[in-house]
Structure formats: C-alpha cells, structure tokens
Structure 1
Amino acid sequence: MASNRSKGSQKSGARRAENNRIYAHPLPLVFSTPDTGSKLGFGHVLGLFGLSRTRIENPHCEGVFDPATRSVWITNQRDSAILWRRGFFGKGDLSRSEPSWLARQTSARKAAGKYMTAEEVREKRRAERKQFKMDRAAAIAKAAAEAEAAFAEGREAMPAVIPSGATWKPQEPNENAELPEDSPEGDGDEADEELEPLEDVEHLQLTLQEAFFLIWNLDCLTVLDPHTSEPLSLKDIWKAFQSIHCIPPELPIYSNRFDNPFLVNYAAYHYYRSLGWVVKGGIKFCVDLLLYKRGPVFHHAEFGVVVIPVYEDPADQESSPFNLPNANTFSWTWLSTVNRVNSQVQKTLILSYVTIPASSRISPDLLSSPACLAHYSVRDVVLRRFIPARMRD
C-alpha cells in the first residue's frame, strides 16, 4: 500500500515539475540575460553605470478580429501555444480551455478498439451516475408504493432495499449481445498509417479584454482586419472594440460614452491582471471573472468576481443607451444564490465596483485614446457566506 502511494506521489511530482517547466513564464514577454561566462565581463562594466544587459524577447503574435463573436482569433498554432502557455490567454473554440482538439483526436484515433480515452471514461462515469440516480428513484418509488399498499391491507411492509453509492454497481453487458466486428487484420501501426493525417481546425479565441491587454500593455499582438487582412492601428482597434457594442454604431447616442461595456469590463480585467492574477471567464459559476493564482493547470480558481458598474453621475445612467449588467440594485435573493454557488465550489465571492467617471467632469475627448482608463476606479468587497456550524470560533 505504501509503495503504491509513493508511486502516486512520484507521478504527481513529475507532472508538477513538467507543468512548472512548460508554464514557467507568466506573460508572453520573456526577460533573458545573456550568459557571458565571466563575472567581470562586459555586463559588469554596464552594471557600474546602472545599465542592464537583460533583453526582452517579444513573440509578436498575430490574430484576426471577428466582430460576429466579439473576439480575436489566433489561427497560428505557434502563437496559440505561446499565448496559452505564457499567461493562459484565451481558450480553444473546440475545447473547454486549452486548445487540445488535435491532441484529443489523435489520442482517440490511436485508442480506437484498444483502450478508452479520457473523454470516453468521463462519459461512461456520467452515464453510470445517471443510471444510479434512475435506479435509486425507481427503488424509492417502489418502496413508497409497497408501504402504501401494506398500510391499506393492514399488514407490515416488506423492508425496502434502496441502492447507495457504495453498494450500487452498473449492470454488466449481456453476454448474448452481439459483439462488434473485429478490426481488419494487420498491424495497428500500419492501419494508423493508412488513415489520412488530421488537420488542426481549432483556433485560440481571445476576448476583447484579453486582446487589448496584449496589444496595449505588452505590445505582443497584431490584430488584422477581417476584410483586408491588413494590420489595424491601436486607434482603429480602440474604436472597433467600443463600436461592437453599439448597434448600429452610427447613432449619436452611442458616441462619447464612458459607460461603454468594453471600457467597464476592461477596467476590471486590467485591474486584476496588473495585480498578477490569471483572469478567466466565470459564467460557469454565475460570475463575470475567475481569478487564478498561477493558472488553471496548477490550482482551481480562488475567487469569483462580479463586476458591478457604479455611475459617478446618476444623470449618465438615466441617459445611457447601454443596459449594463448589475448596474441596477440587485436583490438579496440573487446575491445569496451567487454566493451559495461559489461557496459550494470553495471560491470566495468578490463584488468589484467599477466607478464610471462623470461626463460632466471629464472632457469626452479623452475617449479617443486609452488615456481615459486612468479615470476609472475599482473597489473590491469580499463577501463570505456565514455558516453557523463552521464559524463558531
């Protein structure tokens, strides 16, 4: 027993070491120092003058702006790997997080008829769990009917047997069932060679907030126009990301608005990214953002963030053409629901209040550049669910 436990710890330790090696860089930019082989070389002389030989390696990734999905597509496999492994930016459009569609399809092709893939094991467990719930519900209904009949007849009901998770076992397949046809004779490697090579049709999909962070703060992403395939300037990207929430964008009511959804969401995203958190979408847990300490490969998200816009001037909210989520007063029922969902999955709920500057105080001309983001402020309120049985100390 101890030997199996030690083998498991060695395996997990090796996996952890491999993840530390693959995801060693927190951002796409890499800082490197050339090795001169001598401590008193040219680098030492530069250090006397306050200079450093550290170089910044910029990967210069490339993506295509897609207005229909409000995202930026990274179709190059190299760029996708860099942006995911260095900061966990984006998600695969055919995957749950990491763009792993090609690897999963290759693994499924190799495992055909030999062993079950991870996805097949997961689907089998889900089917068994569903069957267990159905069997348990049927046993409970049968026991209730038997008890009711026994009460009507004036006799003692037979003891009911309700399956539990510890004793229930899935039904074995029927031996008389038809077996699948054998695979063609021959070596498995030869059969794999006869198959056509798989084409990677998956792309990495960046949100507008992630894309603009890579463009404006790190300068490591070039966005192409979807029609002309020409690189877009920072000014064009700034306008395009805001106008995507304006339908139609030509209406004057959308112009010069500090409460544009892109600006509000980016202010919150930039705030947490600048503090070193890995920020991902949190719709699965009824929140706007999830905060990871290092990334989804290492740990589960520690915090769930709900972005709440707050208008500095109430008049701006009355004249706003945007229906910002959580801008109006929310109910305690909604708050309790969200807090309960996150507490059940060991996450702390954070209410992030993003203050929208008043248009009467700041000139709308600032909206022509990202300099207007300096006038937004973010305030955090940590909310914990009170459980009397656990919080007596």
Structure 2
Amino acid sequence: MSKRNNKKLLNQIYSRPLPIELSSDKYGVAMPTLFPHNPVSWLFYLTRLIQVNTLYSVPQSSETLIDVSYDSDGIFKVSDEESMAKLWRCGFFGKGTLSRSEPTWKARTIKRLNLDSNTANALSMEEVTNKRRDERKKFKAERSRLQELELKQRKGEISDLESSQLEQLRETLASLRLIDFKLSKDSFDRETDLRFEDLDLIESNQLGRNLEFLQLQAIETFFLKFAVNVIRVNDFSTKQLFLECCRQSGILKPTNKFVLDYVVYHHYRSLGWCVRSGVKFGCDMLLYKRGPPFIHAEYCILVISNDDKARYDWFEMAAKARVIGTVKKTFVLVYVDSPTEERFNSILSSAYSDEGILFQDLFKLYKVTEILYRRWAPSKTRD
C-alpha cells in the first residue's frame, strides 16, 4: 500500500478526535458560514440554528454510555471490544494491556493460530514496527560498512575487491532510501505451532475469550466522564469519581497530583492536541498533533506545581532534557498555579445542583503557564 493510500485509510479510521457524534455527521446538516458584516448571513445562520435545535435531537443523547469498571487495584478497565475500539479510534484513549498501544492482542492471536483466513494478510502495529526496526538495523549496518570503505579510499588503502563492494553498497543504500516501504504476510516468520497455553483459548476452532482489556489513566477516565460524558464508572457520580482519583494520588488538596495533571490534560485536549502518557520518556505527558498512527509526539510535558519547585533540581532537569533531546522532542515545563486551600475546599463542599458547574468553577481557579526548555549545546550555538 502506498503512503498516499495508507494516509487516506488512516484518515477514514481515525476521523473523529473524540468519541462523540456531531449533528452534522449524523443528519448531514452542517451550520453555514457566518459573515458578521452580512445581515443575510446572520438570518440564514439563525434559521439553520433553530432548525437543528427543534427538528433534530442531540446525537449524544441517544448514545449508550461505555461501561468502565474500577477494581480494587485502582485500575480503570474497558473490556467490551466495541468500546475499546471506539475509545482508541476516537481520540486514542487508553492502552491495550497486551499490546504496544492499540488493543490488538485478539487479532494477532487469531492470525498466529490461523483461526480466520480473512485476516491472514492483515498486519498489526507490532509487526509493522518490528519489520521497520529490522529494515533500519540493516540500513545502519550497510551505511557503517560504506563509511569504512570510503575512509580506506581516502587514505588510498582500498583493494580492488573492496572498491567493487563500495560501488555495490552505494547502489544498495540509494535504493533503500528511495524504496516505497511495503509489507506483506510473506515478510514475516509467524509462529504456526500451538503453545501449551493456547489450548485453553481455542473453543470449536475459534478464539474462546479475549484476555486483553483497555486500561485508562485516571485523568483520561475523568475527562471522558466530566468533559464529554460518554462513560459510566461503576455507580460513581462525577464528584465521587473525582474524589477517588484524588485519593490515588494522596491527600485531597489544591496541589494534588491528579488535579494538576487533569488541569493540564484538559487544557491541551481543549486545544485539539492528542495527549498520551509520557512515562517512557521520563515526563508526564506527550503531545501529538493527531495521534500515534500518524506522526511521532512533538512535545514532552512536565507538570510542575509550587510544591514541586524544590523537588525538581537542575540535575534532574538536565537529565530529562538530555533524554527528551535524544528522541528529538521539545521539552515543555508547565507550571500550574493553584488556588488557596480554603477556596478549593469551599467550592468542593458547596451544594451545586449540577456537578458539571461545580468542577467548571473549581478548574477556573487554576492557571497554566508554559515554558519551552532547550538544552544549550556549545557546538551548535557558538558564533
């Protein structure tokens, strides 16, 4: 599949940035463009607005909420396969417990055991990644050999056999740079033998059960509950879920780690960024323009509060910047100014008829400030 067709397919699969459906998508009734200087434009816009609000119901009101279970270990789980696919494809929420990111364990197991011929030629993200890593290793080995021969040629110590090898390596590397990356089933050596544990999974030549579930972060769970209201977590209300998430991070206070992380998470989600966990790079969050299938993350976020200023010294900052710079990402320090404990507790203990309004008033008390951190490299910045 060419890059253009692959991008078109990804745009179709991941067309929705959030797991909500808009009226324009369901009914095909889009709001017209509004031109403030044109009175006719205002009239047409208001007419369409009244039409949408009176003749059509809100699509989200008829959607079934996704069930999220909360166990005694403090893990938020989504076990339904359709719900897992929806949360991943509409915003890249959660992580498959037996996969790199997207929950593909069931599909990979079915292919490995040859239980479905229709999916035999399909490739998972794990297989694509492994193949690309092998191709990258091969390219680096060929390039290293080429550099050795070029060094010998400059020194005048190269033999006739090595000269011919040098020309062949140049042609090989040129072809590897220009090749349109394609993968097929024949490119992989898949296992065909049954494992001992596979006997408990197969029932009537079918995969009996799915051992994988989608694990959500606490900030993702609360965002899906409070901001977009597409899930239900056990019998928790929004406030009960908030208190439980705060309890996981320590004492309930304005500088609670969960509260600070959620403020930053909601801030970037509202700006259209895809936000993922940054634990593998030693930071709190990663920012993607669209999502993992499209492009690598561009920014690494470290959330800092007034309580953390003493904890993050310059030695630790330099270590994080070194790691993040190595993977070619931009390090962003996000300072969160929190309210006083009295103001925080007064709003949280107030009797609001709508919990959504309660948390809106609560999160308005926080202020987010971003600072780009760049490591100074003398060799690159000298005059």
TM-score, structure 1 normalization: 0.65
Candidates 199, 206, 210, aligned match of 2:220: 210
Kept in 2, the 8 Å contact 1:31–1:55? The answer is: no
* 2:279 alignment counterpart: 283
Cα separation, 1, equivalents of 2:87 and 2:99:
15
- Match for 2:339: what amino acid? P
Candidates 300, 305, 319, aligned match of 2:301: 305
Candidates 192, 202, 219, aligned match of 2:229: 219
- Match for 2:334: what amino acid? S
Cα separation, 2, equivalents of 1:308 and 1:104:
40
TM-score, structure 2 normalization: 0.66
Cα separation, 2, equivalents of 1:102 and 1:202:
8
Kept in 1, the 8 Å contact 2:333–2:373? The answer is: yes
User: How is 1:318-357 mapped onto 2 (pairs within 5 angstroms)?
Assistant: 326-357=308-339
* 1:51 alignment counterpart: 50
How has the CA–CA distance of structure 1 residues 330 and 46 changed in structure 2, closer, same or farther, with 3 Å as cutoff?
Answer: closer
Cα separation, 2, equivalents of 1:124 and 1:89:
25
User: How is 1:11-90 mapped onto 2 (pairs within 5 angstroms)?
Assistant: 11-33=2-24, 34-35=27-28, 47-48=46-47, 50-53=49-52, 56-58=58-60, 59=63, 60-68=65-73, 70-90=74-94
* 2:253 matches 1:266: no
Q: What is the total number of aligned residue pairs between the two structures?
A: 292
Kept in 1, the 8 Å contact 2:305–2:336? The answer is: yes
* 1:172 alignment counterpart: none
SS of equivalent to 2:6: helix
Please state how far the C-alpha of 1:119 moved relative to its aligned partner. 4.6
Please state how far the C-alpha of 1:52 moved relative to its aligned partner. 4.8
Kept in 1, the 8 Å contact 2:219–2:258? The answer is: yes
For structure 2, which runs of at least 5 residues remain unmatched after alignment? 33-42, 142-168, 170-191, 195-201, 350-357
Please state how far the C-alpha of 1:365 moved relative to its aligned partner. 2.3
Please state how far the C-alpha of 1:243 moved relative to its aligned partner. 2.3
* 2:374 alignment counterpart: 384
* 1:237 alignment counterpart: 241
How has the CA–CA distance of structure 1 residues 210 and 183 changed in structure 2, closer, same or farther, with 3 Å as cutoff?
Answer: closer
User: How is 1:20-169 mapped onto 2 (pairs within 5 angstroms)?
Assistant: 20-33=11-24, 34-35=27-28, 47-48=46-47, 50-53=49-52, 56-58=58-60, 59=63, 60-68=65-73, 70-110=74-114, 119=127, 122=130
How has the CA–CA distance of structure 1 residues 124 and 264 changed in structure 2, closer, same or farther, with 3 Å as cutoff?
Answer: closer
Please state how far the C-alpha of 1:391 moved relative to its aligned partner. 4.4
Kept in 2, the 8 Å contact 1:71–1:206? The answer is: yes
Cα separation, 2, equivalents of 1:183 and 1:334:
48
Cα separation, 2, equivalents of 1:30 and 1:234:
22
How has the CA–CA distance of structure 1 residues 233 and 22 changed in structure 2, closer, same or farther, with 3 Å as cutoff?
Answer: same
Please state how far the C-alpha of 1:80 moved relative to its aligned partner. 0.9
Please state how far the C-alpha of 1:57 moved relative to its aligned partner. 2.9
Cα separation, 2, equivalents of 1:377 and 1:213:
18
- Match for 2:111: what amino acid? S
* 2:172 alignment counterpart: none
Please state how far the C-alpha of 1:123 moved relative to its aligned partner. 9.4
* 2:347 alignment counterpart: 366
How has the CA–CA distance of structure 1 residues 12 and 56 changed in structure 2, closer, same or farther, with 3 Å as cutoff?
Answer: farther
Cα separation, 2, equivalents of 1:353 and 1:243:
22
Cα separation, 2, equivalents of 1:329 and 1:219:
36
Looking at secondary structure, tell me which structure has more helix per residue. 2
How has the CA–CA distance of structure 1 residues 392 and 57 changed in structure 2, closer, same or farther, with 3 Å as cutoff?
Answer: farther
Kept in 1, the 8 Å contact 2:254–2:344? The answer is: no
For structure 1, which runs of at least 5 residues remain unmatched after alignment? 1-9, 134-165, 167-181, 185-191, 225-230, 247-253, 312-325
Kept in 2, the 8 Å contact 1:355–1:378? The answer is: yes
Kept in 1, the 8 Å contact 2:274–2:289? The answer is: yes
How has the CA–CA distance of structure 1 residues 120 and 235 changed in structure 2, closer, same or farther, with 3 Å as cutoff?
Answer: closer
Please state how far the C-alpha of 1:276 moved relative to its aligned partner. 1.0
Of all paired residues, the percent bearing the same amino acid is 31
1:208-265: CA deviations, max 9, x gaps? 10011111111111111xxxxxx2222221222222334xxxxxxx45x212222121
- Match for 2:99: what amino acid? S
Cα separation, 2, equivalents of 1:87 and 1:195:
34
* 1:147 alignment counterpart: none
* 1:296 alignment counterpart: 292
SS of equivalent to 1:97: coil
Cα separation, 2, equivalents of 1:286 and 1:355:
22
Kept in 1, the 8 Å contact 2:97–2:214? The answer is: yes
Please state how far the C-alpha of 1:125 moved relative to its aligned partner. 6.9
Cα separation, 1, equivalents of 2:225 and 2:246:
15
